[in-house]
Amino acid sequence: MEFQPIIDDIAAVLAAERGAGRVASYIPALARVDPAQFGIALCTGDGRVCAAGDADVPFSIQSISKLFSLALAMRHVGDALWQRIGREPSGNPFNSLVQLEWEQGVPRNPFINAGAIAVADRLVSACPDARATLLAMVGSLCGEAVAFDEEVAASEAATGFRNIALANFMRSFGKIDNDVDTVLDLYFHQCSVAMSCVQLARATAFLCRDGAHPLDGSTVVTERQARRLNALMLTCGTYDAAGEFAFRIGLPCKSGVGGGIVAVVPDRLSLCVWSPGLDQTGNSLLGMRALEMFAARTGLSVF
């Protein structure tokens, strides 16, 4: 299948709608992002890349980083990771304190904020320098050096009162082992990583290759772990809109409030779309529309 004409057409169709949605203004550094941007890129299992629009413009990957931190934690911690983190959709906002109290400090899944903070705690325990380890992993996967956006990380730390509350709440239940400030420093920095659609499409290609590194073929995660990551993306990867994504798109997806969404077609390709304007669920408005168009025009789905 020739994918370049398909994504070129999607970018052309959505050009008139650039700027739709609202940027994540509650994070000051993201409030200044130009909403009239749209990028799309894909990477096939054999390494071919197609791109259109603003696909080479770096943006804050935000919660897409939870996919990489989870993969790293699965590699370092194994099944013991699930002793403190659930695997069920939340059905509640990604930063809910109510649900966390009801479940005695055990996050419902690793992709809500509390779950990602719990993953960060496991990484702090497992890695002497968790920040550097995570950044090196992501850079290796996309084949280029990537960096933290320190302005975004500082902005997250200065305004992340609910995340600070979530971490301390879990600590009060004995579910966080390390110093809360150290854990949150890793969490805020992982969310600040800046990458483009092309880089993210490459970096997530291990999920369409049964866990094999997209560039050198080495094992990133096992085949079983890759299946589990895809399953969690499908059921929990898009906040409380996972059912809508499954219904309209039918692919494992992981989104972030920076406007990016990555999607995986197992054994075929990985895909990234970016448009900063969000819908009411915190997912990219045009990004979701682009993925729906891609699925409809290619017929690719896990169902």
From CA 41, how far away is CA 25, in angstroms rounded? Answer: 26
> What DSSP string runs through 113-147?
HHHHHHHHHHHHHH-TTHHHHHHHHHHHHHTS--E
Q: Which helix (H) or strand (E) holds 302?
A: none
The dihedrals phi and psi of 110, each to the nearest 5 degrees, come to -75, -5
Q: Which residues contact 16 (CB under 8 A, 6 or more apart)?
A: none
Q: Which residues contact 25 (CB under 8 A, 6 or more apart)?
A: 31
CB atoms within 10 A of CB 172: 11
Length of the chain: 303
**Catalytic residue list:** 63, 66, 187, 239, 257
HEC string of 231-267? HHHHHHCCHHHHHHHHHHCCCCEEECCCCEEEEEECC
